């Protein structure tokens, strides 16, 4: 079963949106393709941002918790493991500037309150943040954000006519 194309893969092409009737929702007006594929040709959508960028090329598992677990056990990977995000700041201000120092102090001051309001567990303590080498704030004029394919995967993934496949 692991080597046979028997799992349902869903491909949503949002570039076709707007072609439907007025009474259809924006999701329904895009082209949706259902195909039987092998587990390694299907990804589990767990990162909506990456999915919105690459939905035209990705066959995803149906969005049902039990099915996603089933697909994962058969070899489908989570989308978040296939891509990493890279941020490139431009016009970076020195961490020693007054504005950067003020913003850093404000973040440290409100860190405990932020965690308390959300009943969250922190991996670091506010005291750890106080050390200059552990936490710095730098202001920048522009921020360029780019998701890209992760090299962690054993296969490289490139778009092809069936969605994502090994190249």
- Give me the long-range contacts of 12-18 (CB less than 8 A, separation at least 24): 12/55, 12/56, 12/60, 13/55, 13/56, 14/52, 14/55, 14/56, 15/56
- Return the pLDDT at 35: 95
DSSP structure class, residue 16: G
- Return the pLDDT at 119: 63
Distance (Å, rounded) from C-alpha 110 to C-alpha 39?
45
Distance (Å, rounded) from C-alpha 54 to C-alpha 84?
13
- Mean per-residue pLDDT pooled into runs of 10, the chain (167 residues): 85 64 51 94 91 89 96 94 80 81 87 72 74 82 73 40 39
- Return the pLDDT at 44: 96
91: tokens are 């016009």
- Supply the pTM of this predicted model: 0.54
Q: How many CA atoms lie within 13 A of 90 on its CB side?
A: 5
- Return the pLDDT at 142: 82
């Amino acid at each position: 079963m692991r080597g046979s194309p028997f799992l349902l893969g869903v491909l949503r092409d949002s570039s076709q949106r707007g072609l439907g009737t007025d009474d259809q929702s924006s999701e329904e007006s895009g082209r949706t393709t259902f195909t039987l594929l092998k587990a390694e040709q299907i990804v589990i959508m767990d990162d909506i941002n990456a999915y919105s960028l690459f939905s035209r090329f990705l066959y995803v598992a149906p969005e049902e918790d039990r099915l996603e677990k089933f697909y994962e056990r058969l070899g489908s990977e989570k989308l978040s493991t296939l891509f990493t995000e890279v941020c490139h700041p431009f016009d970076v201000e020195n961490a020693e500037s007054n504005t950067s120092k003020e913003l850093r102090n404000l973040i440290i001051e409100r860190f405990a309150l932020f965690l308390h309001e959300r009943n969250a567990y922190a991996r670091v303590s506010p005291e750890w943040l106080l050390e200059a080498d552990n936490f710095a704030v730098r202001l920048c004029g522009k921020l360029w954000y780019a998701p890209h394919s992760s090299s962690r995967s054993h296969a490289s993934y490139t778009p092809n006519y069936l969605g994502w496949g090994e190249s």
